[in-house]
């Protein structure tokens, strides 16, 4: 009875539905997802007066435990001391150190190249956290707060609800959304259209506003990857910039507001986006 109530709610949250026919009918080939973050468009949501919308959207989409941020908007300084903002999700490395070190095979790549965690296998050894050069993983030291009804949900690594104590968590590129032909929550919520979801197989990417040829977009805009020299082959590219497309000055000293948790935003399984706009 309870599970029956919980399942439709989770489907509404975009959590447990199967890949739609539409997302697969066009091509039988497997997607190979990537993210491209255009830093020319990212200004940390400072001009909007709101906290970073990508972080808040992620918080409510996954009911991210309080105190964690699966995508973080880092304030960086260039060589001249000027600032820019760098959203940092999991890099979904092709040669992922976290996958290599996991002693129980809990971290793995799915067929679309996304690094997932099977929390039923995770033993909480945190070797993966030590191995990750990007600091993209977080640990549930205590029992995280789950939304009502989540305990009866049918857990999937693509949408790890409920969250479990003693396990490692991270961004999984909204695998439950991309499988259904949707943008990840962060890309969907970005008011500046700075986050592109791309597919290496079809060489195409979109930010929800325009469609670009991925390889050309990366090459023409001098895209780079973080700590590429480590050989991890990250699947997140950055186009260098400092929010100039929206008029942000490099001397702007304003910093992003603190993102609100899903509890503060009032998200529930029935109303996953709560008050988040």
Partner 1 sequence: MIRKVFGLRLFAVFVTVLAVFWPGLPGPKQAAHADSPVKVRVEVTDVGFKPATVEVEQGQLVELTFVWAHQAYPGEEHIMVLEGYRLETEKINAGHREATIRFIADRSGTFTFKCDLDCELHQYLQNGVLKVRPGGGGGASRTPTVLRVTPSADTTDGKGVDLTVMLRDPSGGPVAKAEVKFYLETEFVGTKGLMEVGRVKTDDRGLAVWEYRPTVGQPEHRLTVRFEGMGIYDESQQTVIIRQVSTPPAAYVPAPVGFEKAPRLPATLARGAPDWAVSAWSWATNNWGPLTITTLVLGVWAAMARAVYEALRGLSGAETKPSHRR
Minimum CB–partner distance for residue 118 and partner 1 (Å): 12
Minimum CB–partner distance for residue 125 and partner 1 (Å): 10
> Closest CB to partner 1 among 48 and 201?
201
> Closest CB to partner 1 among 95 and 143?
95
> Closest CB to partner 1 among 236 and 265?
236
Binding footprint of partner 1 on the chain (CB under 8 A): 26-29, 32, 94-95, 99-100, 102-105, 109, 113, 178, 181-183, 197, 199-213, 215-216, 233
- Residues 255 and 52: beta-carbon distance below 8 Å: no
- Residues 160 and 172: beta-carbon distance below 8 Å: yes
- Name residue, tokens 């549930």: 140
- Encode 237-273: b = buried (16+ Cβ within 10 Å), e = exposed: bbbebbbebeebeeebeeebeebbbbbebebbbeebb
Minimum CB–partner distance for residue 194 and partner 1 (Å): 15
> Closest CB to partner 1 among 101 and 250?
101
Minimum CB–partner distance for residue 201 and partner 1 (Å): 4
Minimum CB–partner distance for residue 188 and partner 1 (Å): 10
> Closest CB to partner 1 among 149 and 184?
184
């Amino acid at each position: 009875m309870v599970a029956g109530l919980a399942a439709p709610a989770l489907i509404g949250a975009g959590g447990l539905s199967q890949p739609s026919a539409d997302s697969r009918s066009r091509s039988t080939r497997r997607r190979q997802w990537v993210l491209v973050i255009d830093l020319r468009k990212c200004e940390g949501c400072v001009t909007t007066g709101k906290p970073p919308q990508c972080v808040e959207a992620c918080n409510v989409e996954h009911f991210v435990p309080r105190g964690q941020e699966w995508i973080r908007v880092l304030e960086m300084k260039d060589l001249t001391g000027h600032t820019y903002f760098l959203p940092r999700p999991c890099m979904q490395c092709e040669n992922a150190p976290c996958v290599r070190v996991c002693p129980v095979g809990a971290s793995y790549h799915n067929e679309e190249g996304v690094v997932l965690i099977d929390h039923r296998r995770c033993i909480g050894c945190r070797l993966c956290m030590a191995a990750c050069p990007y600091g993209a993983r977080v640990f549930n030291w205590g029992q995280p707060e789950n939304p009502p009804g989540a305990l009866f949900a049918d857990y999937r690594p693509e949408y790890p609800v409920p969250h479990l104590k003693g396990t490692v968590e991270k961004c999984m590129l909204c695998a439950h959304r991309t499988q259904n032909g949707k943008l990840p929550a962060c890309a969907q919520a970005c008011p500046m259209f700075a986050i592109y979801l791309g597919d290496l197989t079809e060489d195409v990417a979109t930010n929800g506003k325009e469609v670009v040829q991925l390889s050309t977009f990366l090459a023409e805009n001098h895209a780079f990857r973080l700590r590429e020299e480590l050989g991890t082959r990250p699947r997140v590219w950055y186009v260098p910039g400092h929010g100039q497309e929206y008029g942000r000055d490099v001397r702007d000293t304003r910093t992003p507001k603190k993102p609100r948790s899903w509890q503060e935003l009032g998200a529930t399984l029935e109303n996953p986006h709560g008050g988040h706009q």
